[in-house]
Chains A and B, each alone.
Chain A
Amino acid sequence: MKHRIRVTRLLLWLSLFAFVAPGFADQTQTLRDKEEARDFKIFTDRVQAYVKMQKNLEASLSTLKPTKDSAQIVEHQHALAGKIADARRAAHQGDIFTHEVAERFRKIIRSEFHGPEGRLARQTIRQDDASKVIVRLHVNDVFPEGIPLTTTPSTLLLKLPELPQELSYRFVGRDLTLIDTKARLIVDLIPNAIP
């Protein structure tokens, strides 16, 4: 009799757990999603602030329109890079990729590189790995002339927050850099982003 009661109790607890547990899991997931959304919102806001600043600085230069004069293109790039670096003299690594954001990125990159397409993603960045010729880049460094920009795995790009066209994510060795494509300037970076 006692044994039957014990079994019934156990079954009751188990069914209660089975009923409640998914709810807890859902809540935890929702909380995680909210935290992730909050971190990415911080990132997106900082990216937008950067682009606004870049556009303001660029407005003080003569507008770059398609031209036959290649010197104009090069001069514009150098002038813009100079102005941005000057305006961001105090910029540090982590200003845009904050600690929380960098951790989120690392997690996404880790899961991509260890996932089903990980081998292909590694193959893509290995093709033109700039780290063979560059030691390490820092915020406000100009990406060196004549060195190929590493192709960013497209399957990974689909998982990272979208960037405005002024910026792009590029790997240099194991670091993920945020590059101003017009000024060829390193805006921020996550060291050792690739596991």
Chain B
Amino acid sequence: MSSIRCATVVACVALAAISLSLSAQELALPLKPDSVRFAVIGDMGTGEKPQYDVAEQMISNRKKFPFEFVIALGDDLYGGSNPSDYESKFERPYKLLLDAGVNFYAVLGNHDSPNERFYKPFNMNGQKYYTYKKSNVRFFALDSNYMNRQQLTWLEKELQNSGSDWKICYFHHPLYSSAAFHGSSTELRLLLEPLFIKYGVQIVFAGHDHVYERVKPQNGIYYFTEGASGELRKGNLRKKDLTAAGYDQDRSFMLVEIAGDELYFQTISRTGLTVDSGVIPRVAKTAGSSSWPALRAGHVDLSCRTVANAIAF
């Protein structure tokens, strides 16, 4: 009887190991021609070993998935912004990526000095908020530390004028988060979400909470928190109805590919384990329709895969 139990345990361990090694090796992204490929990191600027480990993982994954640029979700430099901070918390860990011509597009976190916007490798061009386009995707990089009227007016105008198929916003504070430490920035949500809904933003990335979380679509919009690319609050996710998937056991980063009307994503841990992946189809906004997100929510079929044993709540 005990030998049967023992054999069962061995078999389970072997299966888990196989599944882990598969998920560690598999690339869940289709590598379609002419697709937009990028990586997502947040709250990374610690200058400590885990940040360097994540950076190495990004470099090694770039051999399989040659992403063109990286979006950085704030807290790019913790503890100050002296030249030694820029060096040890950004230039050194990402040296191979920078040397390979990978551009970083950063936003400011609450730990960042606003003067980091003058640091050329962050591509902020001296602005606290800015926009840029990659193929059929328009990115809006916002300053959620200081969402004033000026910025909101700018955002509305830019969203309105954008004819891009995909509209992606990113900033530091998450509008939805199930993490215990900070949680959702509800007050910011009151101002931003109506604009996102009105102008058809499909995807939002944020950091601040030091975990990874994919939130169930809210009013048709997909929210991701990736705030664990350097810092980590282990075990900080509190499972709520909000969470579609999450990972709070180690550091992580995301790889994203947008090909036509589909956005593929893969979230990878510091050790190379795929902790979440999936595809999000783009649903075009009907002109003049104000109720599209509600309709959309009912029609969107999000097929996502997660490694069950990597999701720890």
Given A154-B188, A155-B187: A162 and B148 within 8 A (CB)? yes
Given A66-B126, A70-B86, A120-B186: A148 and B111 within 8 A (CB)? yes
A149 touches B80 (CB 8 A): no
Q: Chain A residues near B78 (CB, 8 Å)?
A: 146
A145 touches B86 (CB 8 A): no
Question: 1/0 per position for B79-102, CB-CB distance to A under 8 A?
Answer: 111110111000000000000000
Q: Chain B residues near A154 (CB, 8 Å)?
A: 147-148, 152, 187-188, 190-191
A145 touches B146 (CB 8 A): no
Q: Chain B residues near A184 (CB, 8 Å)?
A: 113, 115
B191 nearest CB across to chain A (Å): 5
Given A154-B187, A168-B146: A148 and B115 within 8 A (CB)? no
A73 touches B190 (CB 8 A): no
State the CA gap A162–B153 with chains docked (Å).
13
B187 touches A120 (CB 8 A): yes
B5 contacts chain A at the CB level, 8 A cutoff: no
A74 touches B187 (CB 8 A): no
State the CA gap A67–B262 with chains docked (Å).
36
B185 nearest CB across to chain A (Å): 7
Q: Chain A residues near B87 (CB, 8 Å)?
A: 70
B83 touches A74 (CB 8 A): yes
Q: Chain B residues near A74 (CB, 8 Å)?
A: 81-83, 115
B182 contacts chain A at the CB level, 8 A cutoff: yes
B187 touches A73 (CB 8 A): no
Tally of A-B Cβ pairs under 8 angstroms: 105
Q: Chain B residues near A98 (CB, 8 Å)?
A: none
Query: Which one of A21-29, A30-38, A123-131 contacts B?
Result: A123-131
Q: Chain B residues near A181 (CB, 8 Å)?
A: 114-115
B211 nearest CB across to chain A (Å): 15
B121 contacts chain A at the CB level, 8 A cutoff: yes
State the CA gap A152–B118 with chains docked (Å).
22
State the CA gap A121–B191 with chains docked (Å).
13
B150 contacts chain A at the CB level, 8 A cutoff: yes
Which residue from B82, B117, B128, B191 sits with its C-beta under 8 Å from A145?
A: B82
Band of interface residues on A: 35 or more
Given A149-B110, A155-B187: A70 and B148 within 8 A (CB)? no
Q: Chain A residues near B117 (CB, 8 Å)?
A: 66
Given A146-B79, A157-B148, A184-B113: A121 and B187 within 8 A (CB)? yes
Band of interface residues on B: 35 or more
B115 touches A151 (CB 8 A): no
B107 nearest CB across to chain A (Å): 13
Residue of B nearest to A72 (CB): B118
Q: Chain A residues near B110 (CB, 8 Å)?
A: 127-128, 148-151
A73 touches B118 (CB 8 A): yes
B126 touches A155 (CB 8 A): no
A64 contacts chain B at the CB level, 8 A cutoff: yes
Interface residues of B in 63-90 (CB under 8 A from A): 78-83, 85-87
A158 contacts chain B at the CB level, 8 A cutoff: yes
A153 contacts chain B at the CB level, 8 A cutoff: yes
7 closest A-B pairs by beta carbon, nearest first, are A120-B187, A154-B147, A70-B86, A146-B80, A148-B110, A181-B114, A145-B80
A-B contacts, 27 of them at CB < 8 A, read: A68-B120, A70-B87, A71-B83, A73-B116, A74-B83, A77-B113, A77-B115, A123-B186, A124-B185, A124-B188, A145-B113, A146-B79, A148-B111, A149-B114, A149-B145, A151-B144, A151-B146, A154-B148, A154-B191, A155-B187, A157-B147, A157-B148, A158-B191, A165-B128, A168-B146, A181-B115, A182-B114
Q: A67-B119, A154-B147 are in contact. List 12 more A-B contacts (CB 8 A).
A: A66-B119, A70-B83, A74-B81, A74-B82, A124-B187, A145-B113, A146-B78, A148-B110, A151-B144, A152-B145, A153-B187, A158-B191
